[in-house]
Amino acid sequence: MMPDEDALSYYCDAGKIASAVLEKGSSLIKIGNQVLEIVESIEQMVEDQGAGLAFPLNLSFNEDAAHDTASSEEQRIFSGGDVVKLDLGVHLEGYIADTAVTIDLGDNALLLEASEAALTNAIEMVKPGVTSGALGRIIQHEIEARGYHPITNLTGHGLARYSIHTPPSIPNISYQGGAILEEGMVFAIEPFASTGSGRVSEKRRIEIFQQTAVKPVRLPSARKLLESVRKRHGMPFARRWVGDGKQDLALASLINQGIVRSYPVLSDVPGSLVSQHEHTVIVTSDGCIVTTA
């Protein structure tokens, strides 16, 4: 069943904003520019459009595939040769648009083409009755045909109100079966192409967190942190957004109590390069609407 008229227009408007901000933001990724400044200015663009961030702007370099963002002490600048993933989530009243592009500051056109062609071809296949495994098959094919590895342990995902990871999951490799697509499903497709192993693991760097439970908390700094993320409705937040000098102690305590979870940076092997492209789609009776086109 399609989302009702209001939900549909929120999804589509969020998608338009995400697409415009991502395009404008991409133009700021230039050698010598400061990462923190660019991340903050792109996040500000979303708010200037009257929308909210569904998660902190993910900006991940080279072998880092996902879940990095600027820290408040961020010193990095963009350098020649960098492969930069910009992954943006915008929401209107909780209806989310999730979209990503890769910016090449080196000589990696074919790597970028691989994830982009995988996304384009997968989107063309979307309609009721098709399986998520079939989308994975075309994604894997387009990436391997160009000599790269799809990242097998990252997937696209369903979207629901205020929720970024719901069924169906959309694999980046061929899969027998999987979810059968139905009219009205909303999900993100996000192929990753890698020069490395095609698998990501967790780095020690952690900048993104999410509240996953509501429990009474005694530690004042932890209580204050929860209060400051309450209006996020459980959507992820950045350490940078809650920085008051006591945030690390508060986060450690909240993680210990099972109230907050962390999202470590996910990376392929050191020295590898990863590209990503992502759009959000809504399945219609005979195809799909790409909200972030």
Query: Active-site residue numbers?
Result: 87, 98, 157, 165, 190, 278
Whether the Cβ atoms of residue 284 and residue 277 lie closer than 8 Å to each other: no
CB of 54 to Mn ion, least distance (A): 9
CB of 66 to Mn ion, least distance (A): 8
Within residues 247-286, the interface with Mn ion by CB under 5 A covers 278
C-alpha 293: how far from chain center: 16
Applying CB under 5 A, among 87, 116, 142, 207 the residue interacting with Mn ion is: 87
Applying CB under 5 A, among 68, 98, 116, 268 the residue interacting with Mn ion is: 98
Residue 154, interface with Mn ion (CB under 5 A)?
no
| Separation CA 38–CA 32 (nearest Å) | 11
Tokens standing for residue 10: 């929120």
Whether the Cβ atoms of residue 65 and residue 266 lie closer than 8 Å to each other: yes
CB of 226 to Mn ion, least distance (A): 25
Estimate the crossing angle of helix 5-26 against helix 35-48, to 10 degrees: 150
Interface map 160-189 toward Mn ion (x if CB under 5 A): ----------------------------x-
Residue 68, interface with Mn ion (CB under 5 A)?
no
- E strand spans, 115-243: 149-150, 156-160, 163-170, 186-189, 192-194, 201-211, 237-238
Instruction: Indicate the residue among 100 and 111 with the shorter CB distance to Mn ion.
Output: 100
What is the end-to-end Cα distance of the chain in Å, rounded?
22
- Exposed / middle / buried, residue 291 (Cβ in 10 Å: 0-12, 13-18, 19+): buried
Residue 139, interface with Mn ion (CB under 5 A)?
no
Instruction: Indicate the residue among 172 and 247 with the shorter CB distance to Mn ion.
Output: 172
Q: Which helix (H) or strand (E) holds 92?
A: strand 83-92
Interface map 100-129 toward Mn ion (x if CB under 5 A): x-----------------------------
Residue 13, interface with Mn ion (CB under 5 A)?
no
Kindly list the residues in this chain that would bind Mn ion in the complex (CB under 5 A).
Answer: 87, 98, 100, 188, 190, 278
